[in-house]
Amino acid sequence: MISNAALKQMYVEFNGTRVTRAKDLPKQFLGCVERHVERVTAIQLAQQRWQPRAGIHQLLPIPTAFAGTVAIYTSGTNTNTIPFDASKMTLEFWGGGGGGDGGTSIGTGAGGGGGAGGYSITSNYSIAGQGGNTFQVIVGIAGGGGTAGNPRHGVFAGGNTSVIAISVIGWTSAYGTGGNPGVGAANGVGGAVTNTNSGASNTTGNNGTAASGGSGGAGGAGHAGGIGGDGGPYGGGGAGGNTNNNGSNGVAGAVVFSYVA
């Protein structure tokens, strides 16, 4: 049964009066409203010369144009639902960036920079007629920077990002590998991407740079995003630490959906 909260979020009119409580709506109209609640913002209902046997009534949905929407995920495991009335989507994602290694506590040894996570963008992918279907989104975590010392320790790769179809038809699971960490003075290598869906363009993450003398290497830069307002770049690698300094953490990955009519 439709909830009072759902009724208040739309405009339902019965015989010229707005209805905000389900109990005030005749039972014969409840099913009609429930079927339309996901698609319209205004419903007009009219009961004309009510007869118990015939029950003359009409439902007049007044839809509003779908203006498009953007959903951004920057951590954890999430579910994304395709909006009703959307026909195309652009999807981009980044793997997490690898951490930079720490410097040594003796001599002039510094740490290498971590690699950036892989990046992918899938443009104008058709999802017409799939409103309500869902994706599972897992965002790759940032790789931890290494701790200075002799020996230095505790540096980590970035986490992998994935976009998997739960009920979406035709989508092949896509993955962005996290960037590798800097190890000692050596740089970390950028992460790869697996995305074979129509319209996909994949980019391996940028490598970090190696340490030079007592100066830590730079982390690989995260790839710039291709969706306006996506908040990117994400997935950059962490800088290596200078002599006797800890390395920096990488930047977590992200997944961004843009839906249009």
pLDDT at 106: 82
What pLDDT is attached to residue 107? 81
Let me know the angle formed at the C-alpha of 78 by 205 and 203, rounded to the nearest 5 degrees: 15
Average pLDDT on 116-129 reads 97
**Is residue 40 over pLDDT 50?**
no
Strand order in the sheet with 69-73: 69-73, 254-260, 88-94, 119-126, 200-203
Q: Residue 17's pLDDT is what?
A: 66
Q: What's the CA dihedral at 192, 97, 188, 196 to 10 degrees?
A: 0
When pLDDT is cut at 50, 70 and 90, the band that residue 15 belongs to is: low
Percent of the chain with pLDDT over 70: 78
Q: Measuring CA to CA, how many Å separate 188 from each of 52, 74, 192? A: 76, 22, 13
Lowest mean pLDDT among 1-5, 128-132, 135-139, 230-234: 1-5
Greatest alpha-carbon span in the chain? 95
Between residues 12 and 66, the one the model is more confident about: 66
If 0-12 CB within 10 Å is exposed, 13-18 middle and 19+ buried, where does residue 109 land? buried
Instruction: Assign 36 a pLDDT band (cuts: 50, 70, 90).
Output: low
Residue 164 contacts by C-beta under 8 Å, 6 or more apart in sequence? 135, 136, 137, 138, 173, 174
Cβ distance 90 to 72 under 8 Å? no
Does residue 53 surpass a pLDDT of 50? no
Mean of per-residue pLDDT scores for the chain: 86
Residue 92's pLDDT band, with cuts at 50, 70 and 90, is very high
Share of the chain above pLDDT 90, in %: 70
* Mean pLDDT value of segment 95-104: 97
pLDDT interval class at 41 (50, 70, 90): very low
Q: Is the pLDDT of residue 63 over 80?
A: no
Look at residues 51, 60, 64 and name the one whose alpha carbon lies nearest to residue 13.
60
49-53, 112-116, 216-220, 221-225: which range is least confident on average?
49-53
Handedness of CA 196, 197, 201, 206 (dihedral sign): negative
Q: What is the pLDDT of residue 134?
A: 97
For residue 58, the surrounding DSSP H or E stretch is: strand 57-62
Is the pLDDT score of 129 beyond 60? yes
Tens digit of pLDDT for each residue in 173-226?
999 999 999 999 999 999 999 999 999 999 999 999 999 999 999 999 999 999
Q: How confident is the model at residue 52 (pLDDT cuts 50, 70, 90)?
A: very low
